[in-house]
Amino acid sequence: MREPSPPASHARMLRRLLGCLAIVAALIPLPATAQEMNGFDLKGSLIPVEQILSGGPDKDGIPSIDKPDFVSAGFAAFLRNEDQVLGLVRGATARAYPLPILNWHEVVNDRFGKDPVVITFCPLCGTGVAFDARIAGRELSFGVSGLLYNSDVLLYDRQTNSLWSQLLGQAISGPLKGQRLTMLPLTHTSWADWRKAQPATQVLSTNTGTARPYLRNPYEGYEKDEDLMFPVQFRAAGFHPKERVLGIKVGGRSKAYPFVELGKTAGEFRDRIGDATLTIRFDRKAGRATAHGADGKQIAAVVGYWFAWYAFNPATEVFRAGEASRPR
């Protein structure tokens, strides 16, 4: 049985209070001689320093999972069928990273054989992104900085103390400033859907080394509330701010596929972004949307809230259901 969550009205009041405090903080620019937050040097940042906000916790106040423990699907009794997971397949290995755990940790440093990967999740943006954790052959491990940009988590690497934007996939300050991580295809879906597709999957267990109430969602009700906890650079009308979208970038162009529009399609169709032809697959019941190249292989994309995608991609194209064409 899940632990009871705080009343939704109390949670909304707390989020609004935090949002007001964040707005006030955003209006007070950091002195040029004191551009440091949570122990990170922000001088020369690739993003405006005044738009980097404290999320509340200090550096590592949200602990990353650095020694992940996995169990087989049959031993993941803490998961309900409808719980959301981030699923990653590398070679013959499939793993599921449950959001009830990621809500409390946001970063998992993992390995698939010799390959280091980092699984990241930002509860405020609803975005799960996996990266190859290497830059020019150098392995990196990541933690949670406690800082935000456009309401999205800023990671840091422990090797150089550089700050990284999750949704930019880029180091925005520090010795590795300007470097980009390689995004990996990740599937955001329900536990029942992932378990059916990958019955031999390994599952991140609650044996994280840190005691947290994993059966309680600390963001209960947030996904339905139009309010944001922190200000963002761009706000777009037309959809609920927390409408889930599949966001894709190809050849310098970006496109968002709102779930509300995908729900009007047959569930699989072809589309074009620039010169690229893609197949989009959507499962309403599982809440799963993925993109696939001409060879049928899944490509890297982002599932998250509309406001977050738009904040980082204000020139994005937006899919409408009437554009869909069936694959041959």
152, 252 Cβ separation under 8 angstroms? no
Alpha carbon dihedral 9, 12, 13, 14, in 10-degree steps, equals 120
The mean pLDDT value for 262-266 works out to: 96
The whole-number pLDDT of residue 17 equals 46
Q: What would the pLDDT profile of 206-217 be if each residue is shown by its tens digit?
A: 999 999 999 999
CB-based contacts of 263, cutoff 8 Å, min separation 6:
282, 284
Pairwise CA distance, residues 107 & 84, whole Å: 16
Q: What would the pLDDT profile of 99-137 be if each residue is shown by its tens digit?
A: 999 999 999 999 999 999 999 999 999 999 999 999 999
Per-residue pLDDT band at 238 (split at 50, 70, 90):
confident
Tokens representing residue 17 in the block: 């209070």
Q: How far is CA 35 from CA 170, 202, 234, 304, in A?
A: 20, 43, 23, 30
Q: What would the pLDDT profile of 64-74 be if each residue is shown by its tens digit?
A: 999 999 999 99
Q: Give yes or no for residue 249 having a pLDDT over 50.
A: yes
What is the percent of the chain where pLDDT is above 70?
88
| Other CB atoms within 10 Å distance of the CB of residue 215 | 14
94, 81 Cβ separation under 8 angstroms? no
Q: Give yes or no for residue 174 having a pLDDT over 70.
A: yes
| Closest to 120 in 3D by CA, of 173, 168, 55, 48 | 168
Domain ranges of the chain: 54-231, 234-323
Query: What does the mean pLDDT of the chain come to?
Result: 90
Q: Give yes or no for residue 148 having a pLDDT over 90.
A: yes
Dihedral sign for Cα 218, 222, 227, 233, please: positive
Per-residue pLDDT band at 324 (split at 50, 70, 90):
low
The mean pLDDT value for 260-265 works out to: 97
Tokens representing residue 272 in the block: 């074009």
The whole-number pLDDT of residue 162 equals 98
